[in-house]
A and B are shown apart, each in its own frame.
Chain A
Amino acid sequence: MQPEQAQISDVELLHAIARRDEQALAFLYDRYRSILFGLLVRILSVREEAEDVLQEVFLQVWRRSGDFNEQRGRPFTWLVTLARSRAIDRLRMLGARHRLAVSVAQDPSDQSSDAVNDTYKSEQRKIVVSALAELSAEQRDALLLAYFGGLTQSEIASQLNTPLGTVKTRMRSGLIKLREILNKQMRSLR
């Protein structure tokens, strides 16, 4: 990304996109394409599917940037939520949840990939991975199966052969603990 692009905030880019600024959309795409694509590949496992969804996500950004309210959250959260939602929808449509339910349980750091070197994002990733590592395996599995697998609590309970109530407790406690850890380590993520 060019230096001048890096000076423009995410909020300013979304405002510009709402004014039909195509260059602003390109800037935003360049800024977040690797993170979002990594997320989508993690959920969908197939690059072609992930690319389709990524294109769909930015089309939604183009259409709905005027809806963004910075008082309710950060643009990053909005983008990630949008991308994950589209990916989960596609995953359910493809009917591949069972296959993924196995793969998402893996430690994210085990994945081999053509990772892009981005120092800042790399640091953030380390912090989040480190925070996840501090959760219990059961808490971590519940969160990851839900987040990357798109499974409901009932489905997770069925998958792990665990009572529904236990899954609900693990999911809630795991998310609370994750937030506490991240609040301590990286306030900029919020």
Chain B
Amino acid sequence: MLTAESLTALDENEAQALESHLQSCLECRLELDEWQQSVAVLALSTTPLEPSPKLRVRMLESIKTEPDIETKSGNSNGSRTAKVLEFVASYSGKSPSIQKWGAIAASLLFLALLISLVVLWNESNATKHELARLSNQIQQTVQLLTREQEAIAILTAPGARVAELSGTDIVPSTHAILAYDKNGRAILIVRGLPPPPAGKMYQLWFSARGRFLPGKVFTTGYSGEATLNEQVPAEALKASAFSVTVEPENGMRSPTGAVYLRSVP
């Protein structure tokens, strides 16, 4: 029966019986394989013929739409059909070299991502610092604008007065103005006054009835500029003498230090 089966020449009932037998008989399956190889040489008895060249193109085009690889298939119905020689799949599908190169590629990709993260982190930090600097600058600008607005408000207020202060022999180039309204709301703007000595601050004084009334302490920094909001004491509102001395950090109740600025009569 095996020789006839190798030629697919068994009648249907015999073919089905043999198929059932082959499922449990390895020896017969192997013998059938041998007969099928012998039968295959009959194909060599035919005259080789060349198919149409277009068939090659059609064939290669047809596989492009194929999705997955099929595995073994059997007869789809009970009728007698020619059987396709079936083999047990033993092919793994990938060569070790492809797996090795794939692992190397994955490692390189990971390293590249890591480097990118570090670079981005550094750039992020730099950006943060820049943002902080700009934020600080904006804040200072806002403060300056606010003070300028306040100064304008004071200067344009009804009954506003402006006193000019000049530098003394210590810093002749410095000068300042003190603007205040009738309610004593004042602003002191100083220019060209170097920073005070270490541990010292500048202090504003209001002269009234032979006494010096203390104002706020302030510093100028290396820009030599200072803008100070102040409240002129009520008893000093009609006075027109103002001065700036250098005093200890927390200020004094009476002037003790050298005079740097004095109001012009």
Contact = CB atoms under 8 A, between A and B. Distances in A.
A9 interface: no
Interface stretch (B40-48, B192-200, B201-209, B218-226): B40-48
Given A35-B48, A54-B51, A143 B7 contact: yes
A166 interface: no
A147 B42 contact: yes
A81 B49 contact: no
B57 to A, nearest CB: 10
Contacts of A81: 36, 40, 84-85
Given A77-B85, A178-B38, A189-B44, 15 more contacts: A47-B52, A55-B58, A60-B84, A62-B63, A67-B71, A69-B90, A71-B90, A85-B85, A89-B82, A111-B46, A113-B49, A144-B42, A153-B11, A175-B35, A179-B38
Interface residues of B, number: 56
A65 to B, nearest CB: 8
Interface string B60-97: 10111010011111000000111111111111011000
Contact of A15 (B7, B36, B85, B91): B91
A85 B9 contact: no
A82 B83 CA distance: 8
B45 A80 contact: no
Interface string A23-53: 0011001100111111101100001001100
B4 interface: yes
Contacts of B134: none
A66 B45 contact: no
A86 B50 CA distance: 19
A189 B41 contact: yes
A25 B63 contact: yes
A76 B36 CA distance: 11
B59 interface: yes
Given A15-B91, A19-B94, A175-B38, A55 B85 contact: no
Contacts, number: 215
Contacts of B7: 143, 146-147, 171, 175
B6 A175 contact: yes
Interface string B1-26: 00110111111100000000000000
Contacts of A114: 49-50
25 contacts: A33-B50, A37-B48, A38-B46, A42-B46, A50-B51, A51-B55, A54-B51, A67-B71, A67-B88, A68-B87, A68-B91, A81-B36, A85-B8, A85-B84, A85-B85, A92-B81, A111-B47, A116-B49, A124-B44, A125-B47, A144-B42, A146-B7, A153-B9, A153-B10, A189-B44
Interface of A: 15, 18-20, 22, 25-26, 29-30, 33-39, 41-42, 47, 50-51, 54-55, 58-60, 62-69, 71-74, 76-78, 80-86, 88-89, 92, 108, 111, 113-116, 118, 121, 124-125, 127-129, 132, 143-144, 146-148, 150-154, 156, 168, 171-172, 175-176, 178-179, 182, 189-190
B33 interface: yes
Contacts of B117: none
Contacts of A18: 69, 91, 93
